């Protein structure tokens, strides 16, 4: 009798919560974590810190 639990990739964990990732939602463990990650992108939660760009007016 086959194991009812879906096959998981060894060594991969959910990018949001750290639980084992599921193939249907890779690299996440569930649709919930997948949606949370998308909301972070849409809400500009993922940003790279940088200094403000210098404008031409500042050089004068």
Q: Is residue 55 very low, low, confident or very high in pLDDT (cuts 50, 70, 90)?
A: confident
Whether the pLDDT of residue 5 is over 80: the answer is no
- Dump pLDDT digits (tens) for 9-54: 456 899 999 999 999 999 999 999 999 999 999 998 888 888 888 8
What's the per-residue H, E or C state across the chain? CCCCCCCCCCCCECCCCCCECCHHHCCCCCHHHHHHHHHHHHCCCCCCCCCCCCCHHHHC
Give the CA-trace dihedral at 11, 16, 19, 25, to 10 degrees.
-80
Q: Is residue 57 very low, low, confident or very high in pLDDT (cuts 50, 70, 90)?
A: low
């Amino acid at each position: 009798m086959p194991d009812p639990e879906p096959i998981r990739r060894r060594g991969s964990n959910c990018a949001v919560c750290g639980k084992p990732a599921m193939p249907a939602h890779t690299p996440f463990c569930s649709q919930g974590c997948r949606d949370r990650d998308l909301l972070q992108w849409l809400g500009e939660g993922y940003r790279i810190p940088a200094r403000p760009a210098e404008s031409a007016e500042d050089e004068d």
